[in-house]
Structure 1
Amino acid sequence: MTTLITGGTVVSSTGSSRQDVLVDGERIVALLEPGTQTLGPITADTTIDATGKYVIPGGIDAHTHMEMPFGGTNASDTFETGSRAAAWGGTTTIVDFVVQAHGQRVQDQVALWHEKAAGNCAVDYAFHQIIGEVDDESLKAMDELIGEGITSFKLFMAYPGVFLSSDGQIVRAMQTAAGNGGLIMMHAENGSAIDVLVQQAIERGDTTPYFHGVTRPWQTEQEATHRAVMLAELTGAPLYVVHVSAKQALARIAEARDAGQNAFAETCPQYLYLSLEDNLGARSEQWGDFEGAKWVCSTPLRSRAEGHQDELWKYLRTGDVTTVSTDHCPFCMKDQKELGVGNFAKIPNGIGSVEHRLDLLFQGVKDGRISLEKWVDVCCTTPARMFGLYGRKGVIAPGADADLVVYDPNGHTSIGVGEGRTHHMNMDYSAWEGYEIDGHVDVVLSRGTVVKDTSGYVGSKAHGRFVKRELSQNLI
């Protein structure tokens, strides 16, 4: 089966040009000058007209949590529903987190995640490994997982008693990664200090969702980020700090990068667009002042008055923010977020964005915040390089998987509200309701198969495959 995408502008991380794209089976086989097929020798079974539109590599969301257990419940998106929503939004590869908590074996959890995902994904998928208990057995498992294509390992400086690792444990895990070539991913918040602030707030009667953000101030993120940077420098391990929201934490990562350290920052759309003030003002007839629970996530939303959002966009332009992922960890308000009514500390932390990332970042192009090429870089190409997928994913080139998005810059995407809700994530609300996007995902191909077209989703839950990853291709 051959497919020819004609008339479009192919956009890469380094430039844009008018080219046609020829797909044979699951791979890209040629990039052609426009009109080449009219000369005679090139024919295709299917032709997709991309005139006036962009053709970009399929998006890679390198931070998702499908079916993740958290706070007495599970993330509401399964691999089936979450990957389908990803396809709607032009994301053709997700990298999900296998969760090892205290008392669990890493290998057992990997097997469980394979069981959850296999045959249930609309797009391709890969795994990171959360190391929730650093001991001899889990350190040995880190070495073993490299050969299984799981080459990145997440540690936590937050959530004492659940995921938090001591500095000594972090050093041991970083030493292991420095030896086997793996990448350390870090949730950088000072969990012990946060727990004190949370308890004090509850004792004062400050229990509404707004105080989730207040009790996780930027200082707790900056301090933990500094500590992670220093321990990585000590051990020689590469460091990727996830969901960075505070400008002060990003400044510390930028400083480390300027010194030549393998330190990288990820941010998420919610930190670029949303704010703590939005949470404070959130009220509804149904939920009252608990409405703000819709935007409870960790790290938390930051104050717009303090300028965090503008600084994150700046660091995105300078390259100190390496990738934009979603930290997609959705929960419904009913029966899930409402577990925290009267006590914000019991609200499951998470926002659903896997469907909207490409659109939200393209709005940044339209608003003059980033270039067209930077959009592709942080959403597609650098995530592929960062996580050992480049060559197969994140690039439009002969031999690469035919993961492609035809994007209409003159289209429009409305994220509806209430009964007019238009998202496809398994949630009873969206953090992005009411947003209007000056662009539209028209057609999505995953390994040469159209999974979304102008009529809607046309894929299947069994299409996606597990992708073994190489070591990071983004290290100095």
Structure 2
Amino acid sequence: MQNSHFDLTIHGGTVVTLQGVQKVDIGIVDGKIAEIATSLSRASKRQIDATGRYVLPGGVDTHCHIEQISGAGLMNADTFETATRSAALGGTTTTVSFAAQHPGQRMRQVVADYRALARKGAVIDHAFHMIVADTSNGNLSEDIPQLIAQGHRSIKIFTTYDKVRQDDKSILDILDVAKRDGAVVCFHAENDGLIRNMTEKLLAEGRTAPKYHAASHPREAEIEAIERMCRFAEFTGARVVIFHVSTREGAEIVRQARARGINVQAETCPHYLFMTVDILESRDPARFMCSPPQRTVGDQNALWDAIADGTIELVTSDHAPYRMDASGKFAHGTDAPFNKIANGMPGLETRLPLMFDAMVSKGRATLEAFVDLTATAPAKAFGLHGKGLIAEGYDADIAIWDQTLTKTYGTNDLSDNVGYNPFEGTTVTGMPVTVVSGGRVIVRDTEFEGVAGSGAWLKMAPPTA
């Protein structure tokens, strides 16, 4: 029997729907969008007035590291509670983080452990990529196929880093399983030999400061590895995603691979679009160390071109939070060489405002393009049905934006547990002010109201072309 009332309605806003930008109202029942119309058919128990504001699907961030132990044995600064709180305040209502395996571990136990952490802390819905570090001991033959069947249909492979990288044979074996069982394989694509070669040279020459991190990850490392992974995808027929593309050449390789019919997608991140390598010459450069490193203005322009022509379909945060102390960046001391400083920056809370400002406020692209890049396309890429769109039958995950609200980021004004904002001093126009997750208001007038553990695990559907 149809409910006599909506649980919640959102009225008066400018809504991005499958039909485009419309002035319509939204009726929500049992956490789902039940009706979208200029005049809703029922009254509501609760209302949100969105007059004069944009009503957009909640962001979907499919690349973030949460409560994760790195290959070097460091725990991220964020728990699922602090990370997803920060995500919600930035307008994101779905995360896909990592269940990170280390050598000797069974993948099924790794996934179970991460699911338990998220079940306790996450305030928004979530899924996982399986980081595969060990294909032996039944992991590839038993655990991974079983987990794929359960709905964990994304695998992450590193082509570098001592404790997690896979050699070419193992990568091909994983791609074969993914193709057979219906999973997508995501790559951190950098050539390990080139990085080792450059790192040894720099250290031998006494060039150990954080600014030399960029030189230790030359663009050629990304170029070679992206080309090789695209060829592996072509050979196996598996569907792949290249994470955090940072170079002009990397984007062009993906463009050419897609033109050949290879089932490959690409993402980039705000720190490649809004930072250049010069930032490693600034005060406290360890704050900005990430892999791959930031590149040049020319690379930024090429990445924006790749976004415009559809070569890069996803922009994610690569939220990798480490505090600026002995628990994080400086686990090996404040004077540690660049290769002993943890890589990564917080980004869950800043991703959407930075992209909204660049695309919508500054007129680089349409409102619909912003929504697709940051919500719809990521949800589709990883089979997150019910996410990334405002449509009847979809989850009521909605962010209401004040497109006129201006914010200048401060030194430490994010709601995560990292302790600094890498975009300090950046001014953005357009901010999410009210956020709804599964029909629950979790941010109201920029104030957080979410409850730890209220987010749900999401099953991924099999990948499509």
The two structures have a TM-score, normalised by structure 1, of: 0.93
Task: Please identify runs of 4+ aligned residues in structure 1 that moved more than 4 A.
Answer: none
Q: Within 2, Cα distance between the matches of 1:442 and 1:312? A: 29
Partner of 1:456: 447
Work out whether 1:15 is the aligned partner of 2:8: no
Shift of 1:138: 2.0
Q: Within 1, Cα distance between the matches of 2:203 and 2:362? A: 40
Report the 3-state secondary structure (helix = DSSP H, G, I; strand = E; otherwise coil) of the residue aligned with 1:405: strand
Q: Which runs of 5+ in 2 are unaligned?
A: 1-5
The one-character-per-residue Cα deviations of 1:260-302 (angstroms, maximum 9, x if unpaired) are 111110111111101111112x12xxxxxxx110011111111
The one-character-per-residue Cα deviations of 1:127-163 (angstroms, maximum 9, x if unpaired) are 110111233622222211122210010111111x311
Alpha carbons of structure 1 residues 191 and 446: separation in structure 2 relative to 1, 3 Å: same
Q: Which of 407, 412, 422 is 2:413 aligned to?
A: 422
The one-character-per-residue Cα deviations of 1:407-452 (angstroms, maximum 9, x if unpaired) are 11111223112xxx32111112111111111001111000000000
Given that 1:297 and 1:350 are in contact with CA atoms closer than 8 Å, whether structure 2 keeps it comes out as yes
Q: Which of 287, 307, 310 is 2:301 aligned to?
A: 310
Equivalent residue letter for 1:233: E
Q: Within 2, Cα distance between the matches of 1:24 and 1:108? A: 36
Partner of 1:407: 401
Q: Within 1, Cα distance between the matches of 2:442 and 2:259? A: 41
Shift of 1:455: 5.0
Q: 1:47-126 alignment to 2 at 5 Å?
A: 47-70=47-70, 71-126=72-127
Partner of 1:319: 310
Report the 3-state secondary structure (helix = DSSP H, G, I; strand = E; otherwise coil) of the residue aligned with 2:138: helix
Partner of 2:3: none
Work out whether 1:152 is the aligned partner of 2:154: yes
Q: Within 2, Cα distance between the matches of 1:150 and 1:171? A: 19
Q: Within 2, Cα distance between the matches of 1:241 and 1:136? A: 27
Shift of 1:367: 2.1
Partner of 1:297: 290
Q: Within 2, Cα distance between the matches of 1:195 and 1:123? A: 39
Partner of 2:249: 248
Q: 1:327-366 alignment to 2 at 5 Å?
A: 327-335=318-326, 336-339=328-331, 341-365=335-359, 366=361
Q: Which of 3, 9, 24 is 2:8 aligned to?
A: 3
Q: Within 2, Cα distance between the matches of 1:128 and 1:72? A: 19
Q: Which runs of 5+ in 1 are unaligned?
A: 284-290
Report the 3-state secondary structure (helix = DSSP H, G, I; strand = E; otherwise coil) of the residue aligned with 1:411: strand
Q: Within 2, Cα distance between the matches of 1:443 and 1:7? A: 14
Partner of 1:470: 461
Shift of 1:118: 1.0
Alpha carbons of structure 1 residues 89 and 13: separation in structure 2 relative to 1, 3 Å: farther
Equivalent residue letter for 2:35: A
Q: Within 1, Cα distance between the matches of 2:219 and 2:121? A: 38
Report the 3-state secondary structure (helix = DSSP H, G, I; strand = E; otherwise coil) of the residue aligned with 1:440: strand
Work out whether 1:443 is the aligned partner of 2:444: no
The two structures have a TM-score, normalised by structure 2, of: 0.95
The one-character-per-residue Cα deviations of 1:17-47 (angstroms, maximum 9, x if unpaired) are 11111111211100011xx25xxx5211111
Work out whether 1:398 is the aligned partner of 2:399: no
Equivalent residue letter for 1:404: I
Q: Within 1, Cα distance between the matches of 2:31 and 2:18? A: 22
Which sits farther off after the overlay, 219-228 or 17-26? 17-26
Report the 3-state secondary structure (helix = DSSP H, G, I; strand = E; otherwise coil) of the residue aligned with 1:380: helix
Shift of 1:4: 1.0
Q: 1:127-138 alignment to 2 at 5 Å?
A: 127-135=128-136, 137-138=138-139
Partner of 1:287: none
Shift of 1:122: 0.9
Given that 2:106 and 2:137 are in contact with CA atoms closer than 8 Å, whether structure 1 keeps it comes out as no
Q: Within 2, Cα distance between the matches of 1:215 and 1:344? A: 9
Q: Within 1, Cα distance between the matches of 2:121 and 2:459? A: 17
Report the 3-state secondary structure (helix = DSSP H, G, I; strand = E; otherwise coil) of the residue aligned with 2:313: strand
Partner of 1:45: 45
Given that 1:13 and 1:376 are in contact with CA atoms closer than 8 Å, whether structure 2 keeps it comes out as no
Q: Within 2, Cα distance between the matches of 1:134 and 1:192? A: 22
Alpha carbons of structure 1 residues 55 and 222: separation in structure 2 relative to 1, 3 Å: same
Shift of 1:14: 6.4
Given that 2:401 and 2:432 are in contact with CA atoms closer than 8 Å, whether structure 1 keeps it comes out as yes
Equivalent residue letter for 1:57: P
Given that 2:108 and 2:144 are in contact with CA atoms closer than 8 Å, whether structure 1 keeps it comes out as no
Shift of 1:13: 6.7
Equivalent residue letter for 1:254: R
Root-mean-square deviation (CA), in Å?
Answer: 1.4
Report the 3-state secondary structure (helix = DSSP H, G, I; strand = E; otherwise coil) of the residue aligned with 1:63: coil
Report the 3-state secondary structure (helix = DSSP H, G, I; strand = E; otherwise coil) of the residue aligned with 2:285: helix
Report the 3-state secondary structure (helix = DSSP H, G, I; strand = E; otherwise coil) of the residue aligned with 1:412: strand
